[in-house]
Amino acid sequence: MEKVLLLYSGGLDTSVMVKWIQEKLKKDVVTLTLNIGNSNLKEIQEKAFSLGVSDAIVADVKNEFADEYIKKEIYADGFYQDYPLSTAIARPLMAEKAVNYAEEYGCNTIAHGSTGKGNDQVRFEVTIKALNESINVIAPIRDWNMNRVEELSYAKSNGIYISKNGKYSVDENLWGRSVEGSTIENISSPLENDVYEWVTPLEKCDDSGMDLKLSFKEGVPVSINNINYDLVEITEKLNQIAGSNGIGLINHIEDRVTGIKSHEVYECPAAVLILKAHKMIESLTLNKNEMDVKNYLDYQWSNNVYNGLWYDPVMEHINAFENSINKYINGDISLKLYKGNIIMKSIGSDNSMYDYNTITYDNSLFDQNSGKGFIDIFKNNTVIGNSSRKEKLKVIQ
């Protein structure tokens, strides 16, 4: 019998999918569950076996996620609109693992749990095809036409145990938590309190906030308050610390690849804090021309990741620039975290371009008299241009 490799989370959609593929498509199912956050791999694996799959692969890829994906995003200050790409950045890793295991287990089809309205279908399918064009991809939710109530009753009649009948559609990993659907879809009412899990509401945050020192080495955060951690540990700790100070909530209207405007809620405390601190160190250690080029390439990088183009050929070149420029993004930053705010207290770097002797108003090395000559030349483009327009206006009148 032909085999389908299913990206399996253990939730309602993908559990129903196992039975649906077995019954409707008459194919064997091999599940693949990846830990990129806090998945309980053992429990999910047992559940998959209880659904009669022929194999249930589990793999812990949290370190790879941090070192190969999150790191690149920090390099590129990755944001799409106000969203730090927490779901988007994990999809190419999942797709790549799916292709590798499909090849190893002899599956000619990969199934994923995305809907036909969102971005994730695009990310999975473009990546899978970019890596192995001969693999078929199916997204049963696009085909089966069941709503949630029908899914629940299908699950019940097939003996599928659903532990948490979540109200929202949630996607969670080390880099953040995305929440969609249900009452979030009604933008004329405020969010309900049950949306939040990682970020403490501002009125409940500590009144004195918290001070924190973060150190960056070659673009990557390496220590908190002078204690070294790897990127997984730093991210986990900062999710907790920043989240408990009300940092990392994103609640915005987003433009999906599919042309839809959607209301999205994210909780990304560590991502928001790390990206902001990285940007602050950048402003100290890169010159303006470097930052201008970087901003442009960061924007392209983020759009490509959002749009599922991780393996587009241009990414090789953007990543080469980011690798090269991040060598100079070193330094320490002390911050105050206070009720959702991130406030810089002090900053320093061996690569600092901040030259006290030049900037200080007290006996500066900078010869202020040169300002006049500089402006005499610098003004020409604007002054001559502007006066030519005025002359023309006079002639026309």
Q: Per CB under 6 A, which of residues 95..154 are in contact with ligand ARG?
A: 118-119
Q: Which helix (H) or strand (E) holds 261?
A: strand 261-267
Which residue in the set 88, 102, 155, 280 belongs to the binding site for ligand ARG (CB under 6 A)? 88
Q: Which is nearer to ligand ARG, 171 or 267 (CB)?
A: 171
Which residue in the set 50, 132, 136, 169 belongs to the binding site for ligand ARG (CB under 6 A)? 169
The one catalytic residue among 169, 182, 223, 352 = 169
77 flagged as catalytic: no
d(C-alpha 231, C-alpha 67), whole Å? 7
134 flagged as catalytic: no
Within 10 Å of residue 351's Cβ, how many Cβ atoms? 13
Q: Which is nearer to ligand ARG, 180 or 282 (CB)?
A: 180
Reference 15, options 54, 52, 51; nearest CA is 51
d(C-alpha 357, C-alpha 245), whole Å? 37
The one catalytic residue among 13, 77, 171, 298 = 13
332 flagged as catalytic: no
Q: Which is nearer to ligand ARG, 124 or 154 (CB)?
A: 124
Q: Which is nearer to ligand ARG, 11 or 331 (CB)?
A: 11
Within 13 A of 311's CA, how many CA atoms are on the CB side? Answer: 16
Number of residues that bind ligand ARG (CB under 6 A): 11
Which residue in the set 170, 191, 222, 241 belongs to the binding site for ligand ARG (CB under 6 A)? 170
Pick the stretch among 6-14, 43-51, 169-177, 209-217 that binds ligand ARG (CB under 6 A): 169-177
Residues in CB range of 232: below 8 A, 6 or more apart: 62, 63, 66, 174
120 flagged as catalytic: yes
Please report how close the Cβ of residue 152 comes to ligand ARG at its closest, in angstroms: 17
Residues in CB range of 268: below 8 A, 6 or more apart: 84, 86, 175, 176, 177, 248, 250
Query: What is the sign of the dihedral through the CA atoms of 160, 162, 166 and 167?
Result: positive
Q: Which is nearer to ligand ARG, 102 or 195 (CB)?
A: 195
d(C-alpha 281, C-alpha 344), whole Å? 11
Which residue in the set 77, 264, 282, 322 belongs to the binding site for ligand ARG (CB under 6 A)? 264
The one catalytic residue among 86, 114, 120, 177 = 120
Q: Which is nearer to ligand ARG, 169 or 300 (CB)?
A: 169
At position 271, the amino acid (one-letter code) is: A
d(C-alpha 278, C-alpha 273), whole Å? 9
d(C-alpha 119, C-alpha 125), whole Å? 10
Please report how close the Cβ of residue 98 comes to ligand ARG at its closest, in angstroms: 17
Reference 132, options 112, 105, 103; nearest CA is 103
- Helix 370-378 and helix 380-396: axis angle, to 10°? 40
Pick the stretch among 167-175, 201-209, 239-247, 361-369 that binds ligand ARG (CB under 6 A): 167-175
Q: Does 180 interact with ligand ARG (rule: CB under 6 A)?
A: yes
Q: Does 87 interact with ligand ARG (rule: CB under 6 A)?
A: yes
* Interface residues toward ligand ARG, by CB under 6 A: 87-88, 118-119, 169-171, 178, 180, 254, 264
- Give the residue numbers annotated as catalytic, written as ranges: 13, 91, 120, 169
